[in-house]
Amino acid sequence: MEVSFSNEIRSLKLGDGEVFHGEGILAVTKALLQSGVTYVGGYQGAPVSHLLDVMVQAKDLMGELGVHVEPCTNEASAAAMLGASIMYPVRGAVTWKSIVGTNVASDALSNLASPGVMGGALIVVGEDYGEGASVIQERTHAFAMKSAMWLVDPRPNLPTIVRMVEKSFELSEVSNSPVIMELRIRACHVRGSFKTKDNIAPRISARELQQEPAAFIYEKLAHPPVTYRHEKLKYDVRMPAARKFIVEQGLNEIFEGRHGDVGLIVQGGLYNTLIRALQEIGLADAFGRTEIPILALNVVYPLVPDEIVKFAAGKKAVVIVEEGQPEFIEHEIGSILRRADINTTLHGKDIFQMAGEYTAEVMLAGLAKVLPKYIGSIDVTPAQTYALDIGGLREKATKLLATPLPPRPPNFCVGCPERPVFAAMKLAQQEIGKVHISTDIGCHALATYEPFSFGNSILGYGMSLASGAGVAGFSAKRPVAIMGDGGFWHNGLLSGVTSAMLNERDRVLVIMKNGYTSATGTQDVVSSPRSASKNVAEGASATGSERTIENTLQGLGVKWLRSVHTYRVSEMREALKEAITTKTGGLKVIVAEGECQLERQRRVKPMRAQAMSEGRRVVRTRYGVDEDTCTGDHSCIRLSGCPTLTVKPATDPLKTDPVAHVTNGCVGCGLCGENAHAATLCPSFFRADIIANPSVMDRAMAKLRGAITGAA
Amino acid sequence: MTSQRPRTILICALGGEGGGVLSEWITECAAHAGFPAQATSVPGVAQRTGATSYYIELLPEPAPEGLQPVFALVPSAGRVDVVASSELLETARILERGFVSPDRTMLISSSSRVYTTVEKMQMGDGRFDDQRIHDAAKAMARDYRTADLEKLANDNGTVISATMFGALAGAGAFPWPRNVCEDVIRAGKRGAEASLRGFAAAFDAVNGVAPKVAETSAPQPELPEPLPADFLALPASVREIVSHGMARTKDFQDAAYADLYVERVRLLIKAAGDAGDPRVAHALEEGARRLALWMAYEDIPRVAQLKTRASRFERIRADVEMKPGQILKVTEYLKPGAEELADMLPENLGRRLMRRVQAGKSLPFLGRGIHVATTSIAGNLMLRTLAAMRKIRRRSLRYVEEQKQIEIWLDAKKTALARSPEFAGALAELPRLLKGYGETHLRGKANYRAVFDGIVAPAIKSGSEAMEAQRLRKAISAALADPESSALSQLLAASRSEPPRLLAAQ
């Protein structure tokens, strides 16, 4: 794994009355332990990866408590884990990135929500929405509504988040329904503190084993005819119970204000931004004291009609501050008010933008439109001038900078083993022409950016091969599907490979075998190299000897199968050309093998440091460019994009264009040289091997060579 | 309503630069000072060198009894008190997003650049102009401080988060004294000493104190070769280029070749007339520059010569930061093709080889990638032997062909200089297209010919240089726009469909 959580693990052990300092998502982790969870599962993905990663590393603590931790192979298997809470009085939590993870999990979730749960079941989703999001912009809210699972959206401060985790389990238990907690990116990463409680060892656990399996109760199965009754239960029994609990426990919070004519109803997660917006027009202070009444919904589904009615009654208008589309909450409040015949005017998406993150700027613009209508005394000129000011700032900056700024998308890491595959792909296409490339989710999706700009479609995690099926039907040239080993095990094997095998389709699949789900923090997959082989491999790629993927494919009957080490660009180019052009029918798979460079470096760096400190012989390899022979055409960069292969001003007074240059960040992966050969680029590239603590032999040879060549 | 408002700090960094560490340092300082603070971040795909941002809000005084400040998690445009950026282009991005306001924002930016792929991959120079960013920053910020925080970090054996911390403290961005910051760093233990050194260096740097590691400002170098007397009247810029050109051509072949260079430049000067005219001076300067580079073209002997130089190995030693007692081995990646070999052979031999190649036959040892260790005895001697081949270069196929092309270009340039300095200036830059090796070089030659035959020749013929100068410039940048030469062919095709300029001119 990429990160080590030793400090975080310490803070998970804190007891009564101590103070936890740290990130929101780790506060959630601590809250789970304080709630006495029996099991935790999930699938990694920003911004919630740490929840699971830290628990995986905290083996002994989990052992003491008897908590079962299971990093699952996809969100569906994580969601299915919650089945344990249907028949047993055990609390469980799972986590993943939403919306995508919830999409994958939704089958299990429907089947979980229908019979409902006995023990508290909590789903912590990272609501990957707005700035920094890496997925399609949709709301988890829809899933909560369609399956009648309750949706919690806490105010983004640690004490509230922690309290809501604890209350979510109770809510789940009193209403026999799974509960989803949505946390936006910045809420997951917000650093704060809260007073901790002792962790609770669950009553039924890996230490306290359940001796007898649950009795057979047909009503607990998501299977007709009981599914009809389940649907009734959801709305006749569970939802009322949930609403009762929400009110009794005061899960939603009202902040009174002196201007009683208007009320603001806001998703808990947006509360802090709303306060900031109100501060701009002097309607709130630094401590959240507001002049406009606010109803902060820490539970956004279901709403409690009485609560809404009480808040709205007697007001001229209520303004719903609801991020994302469509406006589910506004619609629900609309019908609540109509049914209660409350004639308070309803505002929401009519004054705020429908799509996109609700920043203070966005909220302010909306509030400035609506507040003066109902409260004459409010002066919104600051809001209007603010809008003008920043408009002016942006305009001025754009004018001064004159030309558009070059974008800086994420890039393959230095020495990434996936980069060479795309260099080879570029070269192959120069010879056999362009082909349709269906791409996938994972680091390799970075090839959609310069200098490669590859990919005709992205249809989801592990979907690349499947997404090419239709295209293959009408394409003269075979489409190529790129897939990571992460995506392969997540669902590419089933959705893509088995389907292609079943239909005996003539397809090409490239699997990036780097050994981990690298994009999410190099968590293990079933084909990750075992630590034994890592130690053997040392500096070399540890994935070479790991054959699980190859064996699986052969087991399925894949005949055309090549494993190619990714740094051998020419070999990879030939393999690609053959796969795309060969007469052989059926599925053709190239396993592009090369261990994730992050993991490799994590292993190699300490080894090197150790050896150096012990004065042992260490060879450091890096590449370089001769600026004398570099003509500044940069075709090497167009085939690589490695962060350490950059440009610098030519020292040669005659040359005007910048020359290529390799920085000392180079890890010596060798792609530069391979490309220079494979593409017949130029003679400027050289490999430098630097021998530290040279042996007697080394020194003698060096002396001799130096004497004759004058070079070294 | 209390008028208190939090102090807001926005930190922009790239993945793996320790922006997280920096924001933790700051919140810990706040804790020590007893100020409430909150930090959050959008790490982006941090490990993958994307842009990341950290946002901190703190109350510059203890919170009143029983009250907790409500901090925002998202920075608001125009409402940020301090912006710290680890990279200059990211600073520009922050300006563009409206986070820097003249009446509020202190902007601290490293002057260092980490070029984006789009900038690096251009066939010419795609780098964004730094000066424009500095000017914009000066104009937009209440207080703009900049220093090479990356260099300061490297010089002090630490990372940029430490020098950013020092720069912030030095600029007075924090409501607590310097020693609070330094105590927090010390508490961090690992690498604390280096961090403190970097912190101190940056602290001084943003206060105009020169860093301890003196900037190596290169003194104006002597001209490498004495100029002929009749050149001394030329503008300084031209004199310098010519002198370097003489050195280059002499190094490439011999003194006689340098004389040929001088002779050729002299012809241009004669044709040019008043070199006092800046347009003419530019045309001469560029002409002299491109002529020298062209005459010292990169054939196998040249590459071998450059690769076996003692000075080269000195440079590599410095580049790879070798420590005393360490040993260097250098291996070259070479892939000599039939063309390269033919180029260095005597003309008739070379042509025979090329005919062989065109007939589909080649030589077994050609077109294969080879690794040559220039630090090994065999490898070094092999390259030196190849370098020695320059003695027979004058009879080689490529020499003959290059000289022919050079003469054609010179004739055109002479005519142009007399008629239109602008056109001559553009024409001077045309050889810039003759870049690279192998495929790249062939493409460059093709583009050069296309432009020469499509624009230069007709213009000279019809005497319409003055009006074609603009188009010639466009064509050159079009040729450098994309490797597939699609921009260029579009431009040339488009102009063909226009009414003949010759008639238009009459």
Residue A234 belongs to domain with CATH number: 3.40.50.970
- Both A64 and A191 in one domain: the answer is yes
Instruction: Residue A598: list chain B partners with CB under 8 A.
Output: 47
Distance CA A449, CA A447 (A): 5
Query: Under a CB-based contact definition with an 8 Å cutoff, are residues A220 and A56 in contact?
Result: no
CA end-to-end span of chain B, whole Å? 79
Q: Which residue has the tokens 């401590």?
A: A287
* Per-residue model confidence (pLDDT) at position B45: 60
Distance CA A101, CA A73 (A): 12
Confidence of residue A557 (pLDDT cuts 50, 70, 90): very high
- Helices B397-419 and B278-295 meet at what angle, rounded to 10? 180
Candidates A434, A436, A478, A486; CA nearest to A460 is A486
* Per-residue model confidence (pLDDT) at position B496: 58
Give B99 to chain A, closest Cα distance, Å.
8
- The dihedral over CA atoms of A543, A545, A546, A548, expressed in degrees to the nearest 10, equals 140
Please give the residue that has the higher pLDDT: either A59 or A140: A140
Query: Under a CB-based contact definition with an 8 Å cutoff, are residues A411 and A449 in contact?
Result: yes
Instruction: Residue B327: list chain A partners with CB under 8 A.
Output: 690-691, 694, 698-699, 702, 712
Q: Is the pLDDT of residue B483 over 90?
A: no
* Per-residue model confidence (pLDDT) at position A617: 94
Query: Under a CB-based contact definition with an 8 Å cutoff, are residues A479 and A436 in contact?
Result: yes
What token pair was written down for B214? Answer: 């003196």
The pTM is what? 0.93
Q: Which of residues 305-364 of B touch A (CB under 8 A)?
A: 306-308, 310, 312-313, 316, 319-323, 325-335, 337
Q: Is the pLDDT of residue B227 over 70?
A: yes
* Least confident interval from A121-135, A439-453, A533-547, A591-605: A533-547
Q: Which of residues 208-237 of A touch B (CB under 8 A)?
A: none
Count CB atoms within 10 A of the CB of residue B193: 14
- Both A466 and A592 in one domain: the answer is yes
- Both A581 and A660 in one domain: the answer is no
- Both A23 and A139 in one domain: the answer is yes
The CATH 3.40.920.10 portion of chain B extends over 7-205
Instruction: Residue A390: list chain B partners with CB under 8 A.
Output: 77-78, 98, 101
Half-sphere exposure of B393 toward its Cβ, with a 13 Å CA cutoff? Answer: 23
Query: Under a CB-based contact definition with an 8 Å cutoff, are residues B156 and B201 in contact?
Result: yes
Query: Under a CB-based contact definition with an 8 Å cutoff, are residues B89 and B116 in contact?
Result: yes
Confidence of residue B503 (pLDDT cuts 50, 70, 90): very low
Confidence of residue A71 (pLDDT cuts 50, 70, 90): very high
Q: What does the pLDDT average to over B412-432?
A: 93
* Per-residue model confidence (pLDDT) at position B506: 34
| A86 domain residue, yes or no | yes
Instruction: Return the SS3 of A250.
Output: coil
Of B117, B133, B377, the CB nearest to A411: B117
Instruction: Residue B63: list chain A partners with CB under 8 A.
Output: 287
**Is there a contact between B70 and A361 if contact means CB atoms under 8 Å apart?**
no
- Which of A153-167, B351-365, B455-469 tops mean pLDDT? A153-167
Q: Is the pLDDT of residue A532 over 80?
A: no
Q: Which residue has the tokens 């994309």?
A: B482
Count CB atoms within 10 A of the CB of residue B412: 20
Candidates A62, A106, A187, A56; CA nearest to A523 is A56
pLDDT tens column, A638-694: 999 999 999 999 999 999 999 999 999 999 999 999 999 998 888 999 999 999 999
- Both A388 and A426 in one domain: the answer is no
* Per-residue model confidence (pLDDT) at position B48: 60
- The reply to whether B438 touches chain A by the CB within 8 Å rule is yes
Confidence of residue A261 (pLDDT cuts 50, 70, 90): very high
List, in sequence order, every residue forming a beta bridge with A265; answer none if it has no partner.
Answer: A295, A320
CA end-to-end span of chain A, whole Å? 41
| A262 domain residue, yes or no | yes
Cα A120 off chain centre by:
25
Please give the residue that has the higher pLDDT: either B19 or A129: A129
* Per-residue model confidence (pLDDT) at position A712: 60
Q: What does the pLDDT average to over A366-389?
A: 93
Probe site for chain B from A405, A453, A605, A669 (most B CB atoms < 10 A): A405
Instruction: Return the SS3 of A539.
Output: coil
- Both A204 and A73 in one domain: the answer is yes
Domain that holds residue A664: 617-711
Q: Which residue of A has its CA nearest to B245?
A: A654
| A470 domain residue, yes or no | yes
Distance CA A597, CA B419 (A): 59
Q: What is the ipTM, given to two decimal places?
A: 0.94
Query: Under a CB-based contact definition with an 8 Å cutoff, are residues B22 and B174 in contact?
Result: no
Candidates A679, A507, A500, A510; CA nearest to A582 is A507
Residues 6+ apart with CB under 8 A from A647: A632, A634, A637, A658, A659, A660, A661, B115, B119, B120, B127
Probe site for chain B from A135, A446, A680 (most B CB atoms < 10 A): A680
- Both A150 and A271 in one domain: the answer is no
Residues 6+ apart with CB under 8 A from A672: A623, A625, A636, A640, A642, A645, A662, A685, B333
Q: What does the pLDDT average to over A227-236?
A: 98
Instruction: Return the SS3 of A276.
Output: helix
Q: Is the pLDDT of residue B189 over 80?
A: no
* Dihedral of alpha carbons A563, A565, A568, A573, sign: positive
Which CATH code fits B7-205? 3.40.920.10
| A327 domain residue, yes or no | yes
- The reply to whether A398 touches chain B by the CB within 8 Å rule is yes
Note the residue count of chain A: 712
Half-sphere exposure of A370 toward its Cβ, with a 13 Å CA cutoff? Answer: 25
Q: Is the pLDDT of residue A471 over 60?
A: yes
- The reply to whether A665 touches chain B by the CB within 8 Å rule is no
Instruction: Residue B298: list chain A partners with CB under 8 A.
Output: 629, 631
If one counts the domains in chain A, the total is 4
Q: Which residue of A has its CA nearest to B308?
A: A711
* Least confident interval from A173-187, A327-341, A679-693: A679-693
Give A431 to chain B, closest Cα distance, Å.
13
The secondary structure of B11-25 as a DSSP string is EEEETTS-HHHHHHH
SS (H, E, C) A309-342: HHHHCCCCEEEEECCCCCCHHHHHHHHHHHHCCC
- The reply to whether B125 touches chain A by the CB within 8 Å rule is yes
- Both A162 and A266 in one domain: the answer is no
Q: Is the pLDDT of residue A376 over 60?
A: yes
Chain A to chain B Cβ contacts (< 8 Å): 348
Confidence of residue A5 (pLDDT cuts 50, 70, 90): confident
Distance CA A5, CA A23 (A): 12
pLDDT tens column, A428-440: 999 999 999 999 9
- Both A229 and A265 in one domain: the answer is no
**Is there a contact between B119 and A449 if contact means CB atoms under 8 Å apart?**
no
- The reply to whether B374 touches chain A by the CB within 8 Å rule is yes
- Both A230 and A307 in one domain: the answer is no
What is the percentage of chain B residues whose pLDDT exceeds 90?
Answer: 73
* Per-residue model confidence (pLDDT) at position B191: 86
Please give the residue that has the higher pLDDT: either B17 or B468: B468
Q: Is the pLDDT of residue B500 over 70?
A: no
- Both A392 and A319 in one domain: the answer is yes
Distance CA B458, CA B461 (A): 5
Confidence of residue B219 (pLDDT cuts 50, 70, 90): low
What token pair was written down for A527? Answer: 């084909």
Count CB atoms within 10 A of the CB of residue A214: 12
pLDDT tens column, A684-695: 999 999 999 999
Q: Which residue has the tokens 């005519």?
A: B415
* Per-residue model confidence (pLDDT) at position A450: 92
* Per-residue model confidence (pLDDT) at position A577: 97
Pick the last residue of a domain from A537, A567, A600. A600
- Both A386 and A445 in one domain: the answer is no
Q: What does the pLDDT average to over B399-422?
A: 94
